[in-house]
Amino acid sequence: MSSSSQKGLQYLFLDIEWNQKAGTWDMENREPVQIGAIGTDEDLKVIKTFSRGICLKNAEDLTEETEKLIHMTKEVAAQGKPEKEVMEKMKQTFPSFHYVVVWTMSTYELFQASLERSGISMPKCRVLALQDILQTIAMDPKKPLSFETALTEAGIPYVSNYLHYSKHDAQYLYELFRTMYSRYAALTEKETCIVNPRSRIIHSPDCRYAKSGQEENGARKLLFSGYRPCRICGTEKEWRRFQWEPFYKSAKKEKEPEDLRTLPLTDQNIRRICGIFGLKCKIISNVVLITTSAGEWRLNITEDQVTKVFHENYRIGRSEFFKKSKKWSEGFHRQEIRTDNFYDVARYIYYHDRDRIRGKKNRIDFLFEKIKKEAEPCRTIQEK
């Protein structure tokens, strides 16, 4: 990929918290009260950040629901800057970008409306709704997927009280996109699909609709670049590589971090935390060795903090799915995890290796089912 100096801003990660005037549902009565944004290059390296509070036209319109959700009183809301001033500053900070990443399209629609009200033209870009992408690759689209569920399932460390602050949500959105893009690209690296650059639709290799002469081979990670699966061939098993569940199913487990994150790292507490996530651990002085079905981890501990994390993967073959005889790479490599809390690191390891195992297993199951289906006609002919 090219350097950021050559290409400039590629991605804009955007979050907006808004207030909906009581008794209304339309966009005209929806005003932004916070905005947070992160601009990156095409390698997803952060170039610029931006966050501002925005005052309402009438501070009395701030509803109780909004106050509770975004932790903001009417007095604090009144201290924000006028919408037009903030949007002009936003335009100066991010004059252009290729992609704008939001959690849902509602955020983008409000951003667009706010720019129009301020007399600012919207830069030409493609909109990526991360919720839609994750519901394609990670869980049943018919089930609800909240932002917090996605962070939890992806193993992104977060502070519950920071949610619904645009500055922090934009950061979490960036971390979530970067993490899932990297994992999905790795899991589907050797898989090909057929893409139509004009319609930006992705087909499976054997889709009968991928024969218009405009298609070309492409990678499945294009789902993160605004391409969408074909409605005919785009089945769940074709694209899904993770198995996420709605937040309410794991709510009981997720209540524990508030207490366990503050525990002193005695040998007993380390084993307790690892046990919660089903991780095997061995403690040697100030080093904790953790073993999972997908690899091994080495954590250096200093004064109740994780100072370094090293990782060693296993290559999982079809005939030896749960065996660890083949190593993907010799020796440990440094793993960058943006937290020094042992509980958060253990949770990250759990979700990281769980998704690796499930993604590989789903693909293998899909291939065997496909082979079985293709063999059915041959078996029928032989029986006759």
Enter the pTM of the model. 0.65
Edge to edge, what strands does the sheet with 228-229 contain?
216-219, 192-196, 201-203, 228-229
pLDDT of residue 244: 84
* Cα 224 to Cα 7, 128, 161, 169, 178, distances in angstroms: 19, 7, 29, 19, 10
The CA-based angle 326-327-328, given to 5 degrees, is 120
Segment 90-109 shows an average pLDDT of 95
Distance CA 368, CA 299 (A): 38
179-209 in b/e burial notation, b at 16+ Cβ within 10 A?
Answer: bbbebbeebbeeeebbbbeeeebbbbeebee
The dihedrals phi and psi of 268, each to the nearest 5 degrees, come to -65, -45
Please report which helix (H) or strand (E) contains residue 290, including its range: strand 287-291
Whether 314 contacts 324, CB under 8 Å: yes
Query: Which residue in the block uniquely carries the two structure tokens 């605004």?
Result: 226
Whether 97 contacts 111, CB under 8 Å: no
Confidence of residue 307 (pLDDT cuts 50, 70, 90): very high
pLDDT of residue 367: 53
Determine the distance from the C-alpha atom of residue 303 to the mean position of all C-alpha atoms in its chain, rounded to a whole number: 31
pLDDT of residue 324: 42
pLDDT of residue 355: 65
pLDDT of residue 191: 84
Classify strands 99-102 and 126-129 as parallel, antiparallel or unpaired.
parallel
Distance CA 318, CA 365 (A): 10
| Closest alpha carbon to 10 in 94, 88, 110 | 94
* Cα 211 to Cα 170, 195, 208, 220, distances in angstroms: 40, 10, 7, 18
DSSP single-letter state for residue 189: T
> CB atoms < 10 A from the CB of 267, how many?
10
Segment 44-58 shows an average pLDDT of 95
Confidence of residue 250 (pLDDT cuts 50, 70, 90): very low
Q: What percent of the chain has pLDDT over 90?
A: 36
Determine the distance from the C-alpha atom of residue 212 to the mean position of all C-alpha atoms in its chain, rounded to a whole number: 33
* Cα 98 to Cα 39, 44, 95, 172, distances in angstroms: 11, 12, 11, 20
| Closest alpha carbon to 184 in 133, 131, 141 | 133
The dihedrals phi and psi of 246, each to the nearest 5 degrees, come to -55, 150
Query: Which residue in the block uniquely carries the two structure tokens 């995890």?
Result: 337
Q: What value does the CA radius of gyration of the chain take, rounded to a whole number of Å?
A: 24
Query: Which residue in the block uniquely carries the two structure tokens 């919720």?
Result: 131
Segment 231-237 shows an average pLDDT of 70
Domains of the chain are: 4-181 (3.30.420.10), 187-242 (no CATH), 256-361 (no CATH)
Instruction: Please provide the DSSP assignment of 15-62 as one string.
Output: EEEEEEPTT--SGGGEEEEEEEEEEE-TT--EEEEEEEEB--SSGGG-
- Residue-wise pLDDT for 1-39, tens only, equals 444 434 579 999 999 999 998 888 788 889 999 999 999
Flag whether pLDDT at 340 surpasses 50: yes
Average pLDDT, the chain: 81
Distance CA 121, CA 144 (A): 34
Segment 189-204 shows an average pLDDT of 85
The amino acid present at 192, given as its one-letter code, is T
pLDDT of residue 277: 81
Flag whether pLDDT at 53 surpasses 90: yes
